[in-house]
Amino acid sequence: MAFILIVLYLVLWPIPIRPEAWSPPKAPELKGQYEYNSYLEAANFVLKGVADGPEDVAIDQEGRIYGGMADGTIVRTGGDLTFPEIFAYTEGRPLGMDFDGEGNLIVADAIKGLLSIDLSGEVSVLTDNNKGEPFGFTDDVDVAPSGAIYFSDASIRFGYGKDYEDVMEHGANGRLFVYKPATKETRLLLSDLYFANGVAVAPDESFVLVNETSAYRVKKLWLAGPKAGQAEVLIDNLPGFPDGISSNGAGMYWVALFSPRVPTLDLTLPHPILRGMVYRLPGALRPAPKMYGFVLGINKDGAVLQNFQGPSGAFAPITSAEQDGNRLYLGSLTADRIAVVNLPE
């Protein structure tokens, strides 16, 4: 009788997700362009023991390092990487961050929407909806040279803290937007994205990149030229879950991988009923990401130019990578510090 009740529970108990079938490509091995290495193990740290989930990192013209924390505060260091101080408080959950041309810190706050924080730390809301429909999970942001602000809404169905639900459902619930400060216009650019995450604009604003975390790929939307308005996959079948992405302004796009692929999750993706059963399991028995540091550097054509890994998971999960000079600053959704890696010459 107990066995029958367990089966009925695993099949029929109501759950908040509507699993959709998807057959993922076979995960690439850690060979060739993804060759196993331990480059990230040599990282140094900023705000060690002070930070609380600095999901993204931003650096101002004075060299101060900013991180958005789990409690809604945005902390920054002094230019010599010391004297951490609270810069602002969003009352939400700051995720992606970037500075605009006037020195304002533009923040994708998962709860509050797209924010602008001036030099004094005063917070204002730029937009929190599209035509009256509230954003579900404002995730990442990048400011173009023109001042246009490109940002992602990870999921219209699951808000912050429910990213696991969105991944397990594997519905195309994500969107990409642009906000024009001059006109205060919010415009939808792409929909039907699989957990729309990191955003990076080309230095000439000819295209914008957006990570689809649960589809293991980076998508490119052309903004100018003969392909303007067309979207295509820039790089597919990544060895992990792409989270943040950033441009170094010189042809490199840094992709932070939250975790390597999870084989048990891939096995369930083609089978919605099975995935629903797995979701009903106790949390400890569900497929879970591996604590493993992973960052890739790709070019505008999707070729992998850099491959940095941290197998020990000493700094993981990595959710963002921001280059400043010859250093790469790494953010994390849950770590208590920001990692700093010296780039190879």
How many other CB atoms are there within 10 angstroms of residue 307's CB atom? Answer: 19
Distance CA 77, CA 47 (A): 8
Bridge partners of 242? 257
Place domain 42-342 in its CATH homologous superfamily: TolB, C-terminal domain (2.120.10.30)
Q: Is the pLDDT of residue 9 over 80?
A: no
Helix (H) and strand (E) counts in the chain: 4, 26
* Token pair 């995960």: residue: 27
Q: Look up the pTM and report it.
A: 0.96
Instruction: Work out the percent of the chain whose per-residue pLDDT is above 90.
Output: 90
The rounded mean pLDDT for the chain is: 95
Residue-wise pLDDT for 183-233, tens only, equals 999 999 999 999 999 999 999 999 999 999 999 999 999 999 999 999 999
φ, ψ dihedrals at 32, nearest 5°? 60, -125
- Answer whether the bond into residue 317 is a cis peptide, omega within 30°: yes
Residue 12 has a pLDDT of 63
Q: Is the pLDDT of residue 168 over 90?
A: yes
Instruction: Kindly indicate the confidence band of residue 13, based on its pLDDT and cuts at 50, 70 and 90.
Output: confident
Q: Is the pLDDT of residue 83 over 70?
A: no
Q: State the Cα angle at 120 between 115 and 121, rounded to 5°.
A: 40
Residue-wise pLDDT for 290-317, tens only, equals 999 999 999 999 999 999 999 999 999 9
In the three-class reduction of DSSP (H, G, I as helix; E, B as strand; rest coil), residue 219 is classed as: strand
Domain ranges of the chain: 42-342
Instruction: Kindly indicate the confidence band of residue 54, based on its pLDDT and cuts at 50, 70 and 90.
Output: very high
Q: Is the pLDDT of residue 78 over 90?
A: no
Distance CA 340, CA 247 (A): 17
Residue 50 has a pLDDT of 84
φ, ψ dihedrals at 107, nearest 5°? -125, 130
Q: Is the pLDDT of residue 8 over 90?
A: no
Residue-wise pLDDT for 261-273, tens only, equals 999 999 999 999 9
Residue 6 has a pLDDT of 63
Distance CA 82, CA 65 (A): 10
Residue-wise pLDDT for 129-148, tens only, equals 999 999 999 999 999 999 99
Q: In the predicted model, what is the mean pLDDT of residues 22-49?
A: 96
Residue 267 has a pLDDT of 97
Instruction: Work out the percent of the chain whose per-residue pLDDT is above 70.
Output: 96
- Name, in order, each residue with C-beta under 8 angstroms of 14's C-beta and a sequence gap of 6 or more: none
Buried (b) or exposed (e) across 176-188, using 16+ Cβ within 10 A?
Answer: bbbbebeeeebee
Q: Is the pLDDT of residue 5 over 90?
A: no
Sheet-wide strand order for 185-193 = 138-143, 149-153, 174-180, 185-193
Residue 341 has a pLDDT of 97
Q: Is the pLDDT of residue 80 over 80?
A: no
Instruction: Kindly indicate the confidence band of residue 3, based on its pLDDT and cuts at 50, 70 and 90.
Output: low
Buried (b) or exposed (e) across 23-32, using 16+ Cβ within 10 A?
Answer: ebeebeebee
Q: In the predicted model, what is the mean pLDDT of residues 71-97?
A: 89
Q: Is the pLDDT of residue 79 over 80?
A: no
